[in-house]
Each structure stands twice: as C-alpha cells, then as structure tokens.
C-alpha cells in the first residue's frame, strides 16, 4: 500500500534564453573584459538616457599620448566578427582586433569629483597616461 500522494507543485522560475547571436558573432566571456558592478550600473543608466543602442562597444584605436586609446560608444547592433561579452548585466561588443589588446581588462566606474569616470585596468598595458585613456603595449 502506498502513502498519500502529494498534489503540491514545485514553483519553477521561468528563465528566458538570450536571443540567438547574429551570424558571424560569437559569445565571449569575462576573461576578455569584465565590468565591475559600478561600471555596469553606470552603463545601464547611460543606455537608458542616450537611447543610442543597447550594446556597449569597446574599441582600441591608434592615438593618445601613449599610442593606443580606448573608445566607448553605444551601438544598436552587432557586426560580423564581433565578440559579445555579457558582464554586470551589460552586453559588450568587442571587435577581434581590439580583443587582442583587451584580454583580461577590467572596466570600473567611479563617481568621485576628482579622477572620476570610467577607468580601464588592462594587464597588457606596459605604460598608460595619467588620464587612463591611452596606453602602450
């Protein structure tokens, strides 16, 4: 003889899978670039305010006082070849060339009046300027 049958159901949390990546875009991880919680909150606030796109694009271009400089902008879509990293609730787009210089970088944000703003901590940089916007490898 079997015991009473429980009719209670277990509550399940519905999780939505991220949308499929566009063709030619691959998923990366925080070993490439990681945003701190403070950076994630600031980027989310800026995405809502600027309405320029849901993705934060991090790029590295020639220029600045040390030869290479970081570029941040919002973009509404990913491009073929991009690497998508989801960090601190933010979808970050990185092109393959930038990824070579960015690996292991942490992006932080400080709201201090002096020396506040976004700060990159890049383990590949051999030198960087005092403003933190350019570096050399």
| CATH number of 99's domain | 2.60.300.12
Residue 18, in any domain of the structure: no
From first to last of its 137 residues, the chain has per-residue pLDDT tens of: 555 554 444 444 555 667 789 999 999 999 999 999 999 999 999 999 999 999 999 999 887 666 788 899 999 999 999 999 999 999 999 999 999 999 999 999 999 888 789 999 999 887 665 555 556 56
Q: What is the pLDDT of residue 44?
A: 97
Asked if 132 and 120 count as a contact pair (C-beta separation under 8 A), the reply is: yes
73 within a domain of the structure (yes/no):
yes
pLDDT at 61: 87
**Which residue range forms the structural domain that includes residue 35?**
26-136
Question: How far is residue 90's CA from residue 92's CA, in Å, rounded to a whole number?
Answer: 6
| 128 in any annotated domain | yes
Q: How many separate domains does the chain show?
A: 1
Is the alpha carbon torsion for 98, 118, 56, 90 positive or negative? positive
pLDDT of residue 19: 75
Task: Identify the pLDDT of residue 72.
Answer: 95
**Residue 121 maps to a domain:** yes
- Sheet bearing 55-62, strands edge to edge: 26-27, 83-87, 90-94, 55-62, 68-75, 134-136, 127-128
Classified as helix, coil or strand, 2 is: coil
Quick check: is 15 in a domain?
Answer: no
């Amino acid at each position: 003889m079997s015991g009473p049958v429980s009719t209670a159901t277990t509550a399940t949390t519905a999780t939505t899978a991220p949308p499929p990546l566009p063709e030619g875009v691959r998923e990366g991880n925080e070993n490439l670039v990681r945003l701190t919680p403070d950076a994630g909150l600031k980027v989310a606030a800026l995405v809502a305010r600027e309405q320029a796109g849901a993705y934060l694009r991090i790029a590295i271009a020639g220029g600045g006082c040390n030869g290479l400089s970081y570029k941040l902008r919002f973009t509404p879509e990913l491009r073929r070849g991009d690497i998508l990293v989801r960090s601190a609730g933010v979808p970050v787009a990185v092109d393959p060339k930038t990824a070579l210089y960015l690996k292991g970088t942490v992006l932080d944000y400080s709201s201090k009046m002096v020396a506040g703003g976004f700060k990159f901590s890049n383990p590949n940089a051999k030198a960087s300027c005092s403003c933190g916007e350019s570096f050399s490898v």
